[in-house]
């Protein structure tokens, strides 16, 4: 019985090796008995197959180089947002990834009100890699948050509040947003 298992294992190994050598053949002609597929060849060669849709290669966008915002500019934006006074156009450019959830700014405002969140930027760091950290005095229900910072991200429309800060506020009020999913 052991001899039969040994012979079977040798036969399987030999068959696998033969198939591997056929697949790795450098000849441009298919080997006799080797299966070929036209669809795979068309895809690998980059040929357009009828009924398929081609897309453009993914683009990488350069991070805009913006001058550092001032404390007053950032506080004015935060104050206006937390007061619920942003226009629809301003909402679209207020928070990073806001396009993933059109109601993200409204949820941020609701969460800030629900938890009595107050944020006052105290200084602005030096921009690096399209981001700037701004130390802030932040309180939640009157309790100060030690070492709080608000990160802002450069975008074509100016400096946006990072989605991380926004999502922390939104989640603290037990609200949900597509922009805050991992």
Chain segment 103-144, per-residue pLDDT in tens: 999 999 999 999 999 999 999 999 999 999 999 999 999 999
Residue of 139, 81, 76 lying closest to 106 (CA atoms): 81
Domains of the chain, each with CATH number or no CATH: 2-44 (no CATH), 71-180 (3.10.450)
Would you state the structure tokens that stand for residue 60, as one six-digit string? 């990488």
- Average pLDDT score over the chain: 76
Q: Contact at 8 Å (CB) between 163 and 179? A: yes
Nearest CA-CA partner of 78 in 129, 134, 125: 134
- Pick from 181, 153, 142, 164: which is nearest to 61 by CA? 153
Which residues are 136's β-sheet partners? 121
pTM above 0.75? no
Looking at residue 55, its pLDDT comes to 54
User: Digits of tens for pLDDT over the chain (182 positions)?
Assistant: 444 443 434 344 333 333 333 344 444 444 444 444 444 444 434 444 455 555 555 555 677 888 999 999 999 999 999 899 999 889 989 999 888 898 999 999 999 999 999 999 999 999 999 999 999 999 999 999 999 999 999 998 789 999 999 999 999 889 888 888 86
Residue 152 CB neighbour total at 10 angstroms: 28
């Amino acid at each position: 019985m052991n001899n039969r298992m040994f012979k079977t294992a040798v036969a399987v190994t030999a068959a696998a090796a033969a198939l591997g050598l056929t697949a790795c053949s450098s000849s441009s002609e298919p080997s006799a008995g080797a299966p070929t597929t036209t669809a795979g060849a068309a895809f690998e060669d980059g040929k357009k197959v009828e009924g398929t849709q081609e897309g453009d290669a993914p683009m990488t966008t350069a991070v805009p180089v913006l001058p550092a915002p001032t404390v007053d500019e950032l506080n004015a934006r935060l104050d206006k947002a937390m007061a619920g006074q942003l226009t629809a156009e301003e909402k679209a450019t207020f928070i990073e990834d806001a396009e993933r959830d059109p109601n993200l700014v409204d949820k941020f405002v609701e969460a800030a009100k629900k938890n009595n969140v107050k944020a006052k930027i105290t200084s602005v760091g030096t921009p690096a890699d399209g981001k700037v950290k701004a130390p802030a005095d932040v309180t939640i229900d009157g309790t100060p948050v030690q070492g709080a910072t608000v990160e802002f991200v450069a975008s074509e429309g100016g400096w946006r509040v990072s989605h991380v800060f926004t999502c922390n506020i939104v989640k603290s009020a037990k609200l949900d947003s597509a922009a805050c999913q991992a």
